[in-house]
């Protein structure tokens, strides 16, 4: 049975109470008990603290468990002969801690990109020439918001085209049709005709508590290459943007500085938790070149979700 769109319950005011892994999309653990009044919370010492901090990296966890097993086996084999040295708990602690602290942990941006990537699709529109051939008209990005194949993208990616094709994260492709538009925000809703069995919908998060300086990641297909990932911060809120052709002005946009280029249009702008807060819609360049100079814009997800008729946050 297909699930409805997923909404995050992440609230900035609760971030001091919940560890990052316990927010929406995390591992569901209960928050730790607060330190007694007058006492500062102390980090867990030794390898147990490092193991807790490394919990987000399965490779480090498996490496630690493999090393621990080897050490325990070695300890068993070395017991017996008089005078032979057996492994102590201090040996085990030191070896496990050394393994955990020398592992290369993925960055927050890498984890966010990995979480959103299964929901990101490549969108291509075609027009038919007088000779009957289909010629590529627009290339952009989309994000799956309902796992029955409902996709958000930019209207300018598909407008004026005929046939629309989408490519999912697993490499499978499908034709798609436009089922809704929100012209004032340059948004289009697509319905894929054939979908993978394990299609993942992105988690959507409201923008009410975003502030300039918050880290974000943009994932998409710049110039058709991808999926590509770039990271940056939110530069401003409530911005306006006029398209290079001067045909339309869009307001109430998120300004960001994660690199975006033609082809990123329609892709998700996500938090470090991998939750979608906007749909990339344009870039600002004072020259005639349509390349990134550090200012991009995204439609807040509240507006984008309403284009698909989804309930409000």
Q: Of residues 151 and 15, which shows the higher confidence score?
A: 151
| Active-site residue, from 137, 147, 174, 186 | 186
Mean pLDDT of the chain: 80
Mean pLDDT over 236-248 rounds to 82
Mean pLDDT over 222-230 rounds to 94
- Residues 209, 281 within the same domain: yes
- Residues 89, 173 within the same domain: no
| Cα(14)–Cα(31) distance, integer angstroms | 11
**Tens digits of per-residue pLDDT, 42-54?**
445 554 555 554 4
Q: 110 in a domain, yes or no?
A: no
User: Coil, helix or strand for 74?
Assistant: helix
- Residues 184, 213 within the same domain: no
**Tens digits of per-residue pLDDT, 161-215?**
789 999 999 999 999 999 999 999 999 999 999 999 999 999 999 999 999 999 9
Q: 8 in a domain, yes or no?
A: no
| Active-site residue, from 156, 174, 228, 231 | 156
Give pLDDT, residue 168.
97
Query: To the nearest whole percent, how much of the chain has pLDDT over 70?
Result: 70
Mean pLDDT over 235-247 rounds to 83
Q: Looking at residue 163, which CATH number applies to its domain?
A: 2.40.10.10
Q: Outline where 234-274 has alpha helix (H).
A: none
| Active-site residue, from 8, 125, 230, 265 | 265
- Residues 221, 256 within the same domain: yes
CA distances from 247 to 183, 184, 192 (A): 12, 11, 29
Closest CA to 121 of 157, 97, 89, 93: 157
- Residues 237, 157 within the same domain: no
| Cα(138)–Cα(216) distance, integer angstroms | 26
- 156 as an active site residue: the answer is yes
Q: Which two tokens stand for residue 110?
A: 């890498």
Q: Of residues 34 and 254, which shows the higher confidence score?
A: 254
Q: Which two tokens stand for residue 259?
A: 């690199």
Where does the pLDDT of residue 15 fall: very low under 50, low under 70, confident under 90, or very high at 90 and above? very low
**What is the number of structural domains in the chain?**
3
Whole domain around residue 154: which residue ranges?
Answer: 115-192
- Residues 153, 87 within the same domain: no
- Residues 153, 232 within the same domain: no
Quick check: 30 pLDDT over 50? no
Quick check: 309 pLDDT over 60? yes
- Residues 211, 278 within the same domain: yes
Instruction: Record the pTM.
Output: 0.70
Quick check: 12 pLDDT over 50? yes
Phi, psi of 155 (to 5 degrees): -65, -35
Quick check: 304 pLDDT over 50? yes
Quick check: 72 pLDDT over 80? no
- 197 as an active site residue: the answer is no
- 177 as an active site residue: the answer is no
| Cα(252)–Cα(242) distance, integer angstroms | 12
Torsion of CA 219, 225, 227, 228, to 10 degrees: -50
Where does the pLDDT of residue 139 fall: very low under 50, low under 70, confident under 90, or very high at 90 and above? very high
């Amino acid at each position: 049975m297909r699930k409805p769109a997923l909404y995050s319950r992440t609230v900035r005011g609760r971030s001091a109470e919940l560890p990052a892994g316990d927010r929406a999309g995390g591992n569901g653990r209960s928050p730790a008990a607060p330190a007694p009044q007058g006492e500062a919370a102390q980090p867990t010492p030794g390898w147990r603290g490092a193991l807790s901090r490394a919990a987000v990296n399965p490779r480090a966890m498996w490496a630690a468990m493999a090393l621990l097993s080897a050490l325990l086996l070695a300890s068993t084999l070395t017991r017996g002969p008089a005078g032979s040295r057996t492994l102590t708990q201090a040996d085990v602690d030191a070896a496990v801690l050394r393994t955990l602290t020398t592992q290369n942990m993925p960055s927050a941006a890498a984890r966010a990109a990995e979480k959103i990537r299964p929901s990101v699709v490549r969108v291509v529109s075609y027009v038919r020439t007088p000779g009957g051939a289909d010629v590529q008209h627009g290339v952009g990005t989309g994000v799956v918001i309902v796992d029955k194949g409902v996709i958000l993208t930019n209207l300018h990616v598909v407008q004026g085209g005929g046939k629309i094709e989408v490519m999912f994260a697993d490499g499978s492709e499908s034709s798609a049709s436009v089922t809704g538009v929100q012209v004032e925000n340059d948004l289009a809703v697509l319905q894929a005709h054939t979908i993978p069995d394990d299609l993942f919908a992105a988690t959507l998060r409201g923008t009410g508590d975003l502030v300039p300086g918050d880290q974000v990641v943009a994932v998409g297909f710049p110039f058709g290459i991808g999926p590509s990932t770039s990271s940056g911060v939110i530069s401003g809120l409530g911005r306006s943007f006029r398209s290079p052709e001067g045909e339309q002005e869009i307001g109430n946009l998120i300004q960001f500085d994660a690199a975006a280029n033609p082809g990123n249009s329609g892709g998700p702008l996500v938090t470090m938790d991998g939750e979608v807060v906007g749909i990339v819609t344009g870039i600002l360049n004072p020259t005639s070149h349509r390349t990134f100079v550090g200012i991009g814009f995204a439609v807040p997800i509240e507006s984008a979700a309403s284009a698909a008729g989804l309930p409000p946050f």
